[in-house]
Amino acid sequence: MRFTITRTIAAQQKLSRRLAAAGKTIAIVPTMGCLHDGHLALIRRGLRRADVVVTTIFVNPAQFAPHEDFMRYPRDTRGDLKKIRAAGCQIAFLPAARDIYPDDYETYVTVENLTQPLEGSLRPTHFRGVTTIVAKLFNIVRPDVALFGIKDYQQAMVLKKMTADLNWPITFIICPTVREKDGLALSSRNRYLSPEFRLQAPALYQALSAARQMARNGQRRASDIKRHMRRIIALRAPAGTIDYIAFTEMETLRPTRLVEKNTVVSLAVRLGSVRLIDNMKIA
The sign one gets for the Cα dihedral 67, 39, 115, 273 is negative
Active site residues: 39
Task: Identify whether the C-beta of residue 191 lies closer than 8 Å to the C-beta of residue 171.
Answer: no
Residue 13 class from Cβ within 10 Å (0-12 exposed, 13-18 middle, 19+ buried)? middle
C-alpha–C-alpha distance, residues 205 and 185, integer Å: 8
Compute the radius of gyration of the chain from its Cα atoms. Answer: 19
DSSP state of 34: S
3-state SS class at 239: coil
φ and ψ at residue 71, rounded to 5 degrees: -70, -30
Which stretches of 71-179 are assigned E, i.e. beta strand?
A: 91-93, 145-149, 171-175
At 182 the three-state DSSP class reads: coil
Beta strand 26-31 pairing with 52-57: parallel
Torsion of CA 2, 89, 31, 283, to 10 degrees: 160
36 vs 41: CA distance, rounded Å = 9
DSSP one-letter string for 244-279 = EEEEEETTT--B-SB--TTEEEEEEEEETTEEEEEE
User: How far is Cα 150 from Cα 38, in angstroms, rounded to an integer?
Assistant: 10
